[in-house]
Amino acid sequence: MKILITGGAGFIGANFIHYWAKQYPQDQIINVDKLTYAGNLENLKELDGSDNYKFYKTDIADFAAINKVIKDEKPDAIVNFAAESHVDRSILGPDEFVKTNIEGTYNLLKSARENGNIRFHHVSTDEVYGSLEMDDPAFNEKTPYDPRSPYSASKAASDHLVMAYFHTFDLPVTISNCSNNYGPYQFPEKLIPLFIANLTDDKKVPLYGDGMNVRDWLYVEDHCRAIDLVLKKGRLGETYCVGGAAERNNREITYKILELMGKGEEMIEFIEDRKGHDRRYAIDFSKIKSELGWEPEVDFDEGMKATIEWYKKNEQWWRNVMTGDYQKYFEENYSKRD
Ligand code: NAD
Ligand code: DAU
């Protein structure tokens, strides 16, 4: 099989490429990434030079460019991870979110249709369903869309386009809407890696508002397994909600990181809340469990220990991100080859 992955130099995309290369060593992997600030080819350096792996520095918001890659490569399936993914950045500047998440997804759908109705899986988020109160039931596939940030609105729009291509043009699509991922290679602007990096340097950790917002935490490898199953066995035109069965508020996450890193509560700094901050996300994953036999396998405490260990062992990786050195990787290793 030839699989084309967009956004493969980012956090989940890179984990997915490692997962796929290990699981299906005979498959061809095509990675298409614009290399925005979030794209880091150091995440994939083990695959450099492998016959089964190819990288294109391409913007999915540029139809001619992405269509050429798809036309030339003729993949059997496309898995779309490429997106602007950070809520705080979408509040500071929504333009790129509309361009990449909406127009970019549209271009991929259009190209998948024009090049032989290619199987298309779209990676989406639980944020499209809005914000829950503490006693509300968890989101499921029938929960009405109610996005509240420019990020989640752009992801919701992309989900609608994906389903429109299924109903109108019979494009063979699936969507997965998952909760907060954590694990190796996550960019240190997101809660868990940011707090690990700050504490390593004895800097305080900034908790927004009262720190009582709740997220459901999913170990990234469990997410990769879920996408694999949906891609191979999911029903076309269906959405699958994917969760970690680990609802925690941000204070609990912070205390866990402090405990595992041997630091005290004095390292917490409560700061001004995020605008429009969603209070709670929670996922009911019974559909993917009953139809495809998937459930999360990594226990939250174990996943957190493994994550902190990874960031300790790979300190140079996140220090290169902090200094910007990671952006030299393409220049130094790829541009010379072409
Ligand atoms: P990320 O920000 O770490 O990576 C995004 C990748 O997409 C980067 O490599 C970036 O260079 C690339 N990209 C951005 N714009 C592009 C463009 N125009 N063309 C080509 N490539 C482009 O994101 P992530 O956390 O790995 O998330 C991946 C996907 O999963 C996103 O679609 C996100 O909405 C979704 N998601 C993430 C989470 C999470 O907790 N991280 C949870 C649910 C869903
Ligand atoms: O739910 C899935 C979503 O999870 C994905 O779709 C997004 O791409 C991903 O970024 C993530 O969004 P969140 O906004 O939930 O993740 P973030 O790590 O930014 O924040 C997690 C929680 O921690 C949230 O309640 C805000 C809070 N927070 C975050 C940061 C960065 C803080 O209190 N302090 C911080 O410095």
Q: Which residues are catalytic?
A: 126-127, 151
- Cα separation, 146 vs 239, in Å, equals 16
Out of 4, 12, 219, 220, give the residue to mutate to test ligand 1, the one with the largest number of ligand atoms within 8 Å of its CB: 12
Name the β-bridge partners of 268.
Answer: 205
Stretches where the chain sits below pLDDT 70 are 336-338
Q: Which CATH architecture has domain 2-333?
A: 3-Layer(aba) Sandwich (3.40)
Tokens of 238: 């269906």
At a CB cut-off of 8 Å and minimum separation 6, what does 183 contact? 15, 219, 220, 221, 303, 306, 307, 310
The crossing angle, in degrees rounded to 10, of helices 315-323 and 300-313 is 70
Place of tokens 């929960």: 143
In short, whether 172's Cβ falls inside 6 Å of ligand 2 is no
pLDDT of residue 336: 63
Q: Where are the domains of the chain?
A: 2-333
> Closest Cα partner for 158 from 84, 216, 265?
84
H-only helix segments in the chain: 11-23, 63-73, 87-92, 95-96, 105-114, 150-169, 191-200, 220-233, 250-260, 286-292, 300-313, 315-323, 328-330
Nearest atom in ligand 2 to 214's CA? 25
CA–centroid distance, 74 to ligand 2, in Å, is: 36
In short, whether 154's Cβ falls inside 6 Å of ligand 2 is no
pLDDT of residue 337: 60
pLDDT of residue 335: 74
With a Cβ cut-off of 6 Å, ligand 1 is lined by 6-7, 9-13, 33-36, 38-39, 59-61, 81-85, 100, 104, 123, 125, 155, 178, 180-181, 187
Nearest 5°: the CA angle 78, 187, 155 is: 45
Residue 156, Ramachandran bin (φ over 0: left; ψ between -120 and 50: alpha; else beta): alpha
- Cα separation, 292 vs 281, in Å, equals 23
Tokens of 150: 């420019």
Cβ–Cβ < 8 Å for 34, 9: no
Q: Give, using CA atoms, the residue closest to atom 6 of ligand 2.
A: 125
At a CB cut-off of 8 Å and minimum separation 6, what does 64 contact? none
At a CB cut-off of 8 Å and minimum separation 6, what does 261 contact? 196, 199, 200, 308
Kindly list the strands in the beta sheet with 180-182, ordered across the sheet, starting from the edge strand earlier in the chain: 180-182, 214-219, 247-249
Report the b/e string of 55-83 with b at 16+ CB within 10 A. Answer: bbbbbbbebebbbebbeebebebbbbbbb
- Cα separation, 104 vs 26, in Å, equals 29
The crossing angle, in degrees rounded to 10, of helices 191-200 and 315-323 is 100
